[in-house]
Chain A
Amino acid sequence: MTHSLRKTLGPMLMGSCLALGLGAAAPAGAQELRIGFVAPLTGIFAQVGKDMQDGFQLYLDQNGGKLGGMTVKFIVEDEQGKPDTAVTKAKKLVLQDKVHMFIGGLLASSGYALAPVSTAEKTVYISSVAAADDLTQRDLGKYPLFLRTSWTSSQPHHPLGQWACDQGYKKVISIAADYAFGYEVAGGFQKAFEDCGGQVVQKIWPPLGTKDFGPYIPSMKADADAIFTVMVGPMALQFPKQLRGAGNKKPILGGGTSYDEFALPFMGDEVIGDVSALHYSAAIDTPKNAAFVKAYRTKYNKVPSYYSENNYTTAQWIDEAIKQAGGKWPGPEEFVKIMQGLKIDSVRGQISMDDMRNPVQTIFIKKVEKKKMFGYEKDELWNTVIKTYPNVSQFWTYGKEKFLAQPVYNRDFPPCKFC
């Protein structure tokens, strides 16, 4: 038994090793554009990772698997939601698959971990979701081959602070997930809101992944006009439900991820009327977005989230860059330069890139409404756009030098002056 097993297993193992070896040594065809994609496909963020991948894949499929005339070899790797694994997988893409660029990374921590790989391995890295502010701010100098097609965490929340002032809100409570992304989102909102005369009177930091807000809700100050929230994943579903359940009827202003289309379909009617800000809404009423939502929904049977749109647009951006380079890979430095110079007419509107390689784009203030849209029959929750702020850069109205002189938003900055 053991002997015969060994006899059959031996050649099989040899064969598979050979096959793997051959598979790894992909022919370096002149017309092939190799793109690596790093997204969480297992673990708690697996569904977000799927949205990211689907967005990119949809653009590829609509364009016959080609970007800018080059046939694309699209290699997806699972980062498991861990920065350490993201680095390993990015290195695999660079060393083994010899990709021209790698894209993705979900969490801010993954973005921070991946950017140095691009410098060390001299390969382009495009952050299509990871929003960590400093990547395109104070740290950019370290990453010459890095660029971002998505957003910085604070970018949509500066306008939201302004908008809150315009509504006449004077005192706001901030409750935000206790990690870097939460600090940056809440910081952006607080900075802009206090600069136009508002006051953040209380800051609460529940840990990432909190499901029971029982200890936090009763401690909220009663004299506030509104509540600003930064919720991520399952937190986004729980918080509005529990807040309303506790009888608190104050208006909610949400950080982008508190109400993005990834969470919205799973929410109840209690969120109707809640306002949030982001650089995309599935309910943008333009023919381009309508076509995108319908195509995405037909193919994947769900409403696209900003994760999907950002990656779709990333593919479009690369498409136009390669076109401009004459249908061939221009080399990493040149590619970054071309990407930076492009103006994209994307699903979410006109986008360009600032000199720190972060998009300048429209920010949407959105209100959750239950209605029919794009000809779908059922009443559904949509993020109806109630105000747009066009051409918002990551520095808002502060100017680059002044903005970069302050520290990156963190747990203690801006300080809670009115607490």
Chain B
Amino acid sequence: MVSQQVKIGMVIIGLALLAFVIPQSGSFVILLATRALAFAILAMSVDLLLGFTGLSSMGQAAYFGVGAYLTAVLATKFGIGMGWDFWLVVVMGILLGAALAAVFGLFAIRASGVYFLMITLALGQCVWGLAYRWNSVTGGDNGINMTGRPNFGIDLTNDVNFFYLVYAFFVVSLLLLYILVRSPFGKSLAGIRERELRMQILGYNTWLHKYIAFIIAGGFGGLAGVLWAQTNGHVSPENVVLTTSVDALLMVVLGGSGTLVGAAIGTGIVFGLREFLSTIVPWWQYVLGAVYVLTILYLPMGLMGIPAWIRQRRSQRKSEESKKLASKPS
């Protein structure tokens, strides 16, 4: 078993490599990496629910969407968020995401399993409907265009600067979520995931625990939305639609749920295939499909499960060999 310290070390090395390598590459790769990192925050928020609490949310794009629309509306209609007040927008985005989750949670947390999935799906689509139809605010189907990125001494119009900003947000989010899931609160979430009834009998208010986790996930979703809106300067109902929620969920499953880092890796792989491979070959969809199918068939733990799978195979082989040795007449 690889110890926790080694794992943390590997993640730190990986993050450091990312920070060094990406800015050296072409500016399109920088843009893609920035987008992937922003989306990875959303994927990690899904992982908090799916992997650590056992709630599969199909509506996470709703919080992502309100964060993104908040940024776009404030910037275009009120001129807020293009200077130092960008940080204000970040805080507002987080709070709005969390607030929306607090409202939706009242409906959703009562249910579990497939019913939870259906309710979050329906609530998410409500937000999509609002984005699509509330023309005077959201621009409807056409969405909202923002001009330029914020400049507060550091000019974010520069793609490299913006990459580092999103990177920093990503690292901080990862750290906070890691601390959260390792905390006693996180342990109780895992307990709920494993057996909710037992936790109730032990005296935990499981509803409240799930509710708080749901709100925290909403806050991170809002943050991801604020950053995402700035990557392309364009927000449309496409960002809130069901497929965005499903994408986030698939990325978590692909990378390995309940690992946080897996969510980020899954995001990276999907973005790499969908937005980079698609510029090279027309059959990128088959590759993406094959990756999903193979992962689900052979790696139910996701890509993060590969080391464990290899270890298992090795120990199996060893035990088979020792059995053979044992059965050989000496």
Query: Which residues from chain A sit less than 8 Å from chain B, CB to CB?
Result: 2, 20, 24, 41-42, 77-78, 80, 82-85, 87-89, 91-92, 95-96, 107-109, 112-113, 115-116, 119-120, 132, 142, 179-181, 208, 410-411
Contacts and interface: CB of A to CB of B under 8 A. Distances in A.
Contacts of A91: 28, 31, 232
Given A83-B234, A95-B26, A116-B234, A88 B141 contact: no
B31 A112 contact: no
B285 interface: yes
Contacts of A411: 135
B282 interface: yes
Contacts of B299: none
A391 B236 CA distance: 35
Interface residues of B, number: 28
B297 interface: no
B232 A112 contact: no
26 contacts: A2-B310, A78-B282, A82-B236, A84-B232, A84-B236, A87-B233, A88-B35, A88-B232, A95-B26, A95-B27, A96-B26, A96-B27, A96-B28, A107-B141, A108-B142, A109-B141, A109-B236, A113-B232, A116-B147, A119-B147, A120-B233, A142-B147, A180-B141, A180-B142, A208-B141, A410-B135
Interface stretch (B7-15, B55-63, B272-280): B272-280
Contacts of A208: 141
Contacts of A80: 278
Interface in B225-271: 232-234, 236, 238-239
A84 B234 contact: yes
Contacts of A113: 143, 145, 232, 234, 236
Contacts of A119: 147
A88 B238 contact: no
A41 B284 CA distance: 11
B140 A179 contact: yes
Given A42-B285, A112-B142, A83 B280 contact: no
A261 to B, nearest CB: 25
Interface in B116-145: 132, 135, 140-143, 145
Given A83-B236, A87-B232, A132 B282 contact: no
B243 to A, nearest CB: 9
A-B pairs with lowest CB-CB distance, top 7: A179-B141, A96-B28, A87-B232, A95-B27, A95-B28, A113-B234, A92-B28
A181 B141 CA distance: 9
A109 B143 CA distance: 7
The binding surface of chain A is classed by DSSP as helix
A112 B148 contact: no
A113 B285 CA distance: 24
Given A78-B278, A88-B232, A180 B31 contact: no
B32 interface: yes
Contacts of B135: 410-411
A92 B28 CA distance: 5
B31 to A, nearest CB: 6
A23 B308 CA distance: 38
Nearest to B278: A78
A87 B236 CA distance: 12
A72 to B, nearest CB: 19
Contact of A82 (B35, B145, B147, B238): B238
Contacts of A84: 232, 234, 236, 238-239
Q: Which of B31, B145, B233 has the most CB of A within 10 A?
A: B145
Contacts of A78: 278, 282
Contacts of A179: 132, 140-141
A116 B32 contact: no
A113 B232 CA distance: 9
A88 B31 contact: yes
Contact of A20 (B232, B233, B280): B280
Contacts of A96: 26-28, 279
Contact of A108 (B141, B147, B148, B238): B141
A113 B34 CA distance: 19
A132 B132 CA distance: 16
Contacts of A24: 26
Contacts of B279: 77, 89, 92, 96
B238 A83 contact: yes
Nearest to B32: A88
A103 to B, nearest CB: 16
A208 B232 CA distance: 25
Contacts of B238: 82-84, 109
B142 A116 contact: no
Given A113-B145, A116-B233, A180-B142, A88 B282 contact: no
A87 B232 CA distance: 7
Contacts of A20: 280
Contacts of A180: 140-142
Interface string B19-37: 0000000111001100100
A113 B135 CA distance: 16
Contacts of A410: 135
B239 to A, nearest CB: 7
Nearest to B145: A116
B40 to A, nearest CB: 16
Given A109-B142, A112-B143, A116-B145, A85 B275 contact: yes
Contacts of B32: 88
A119 B234 CA distance: 14
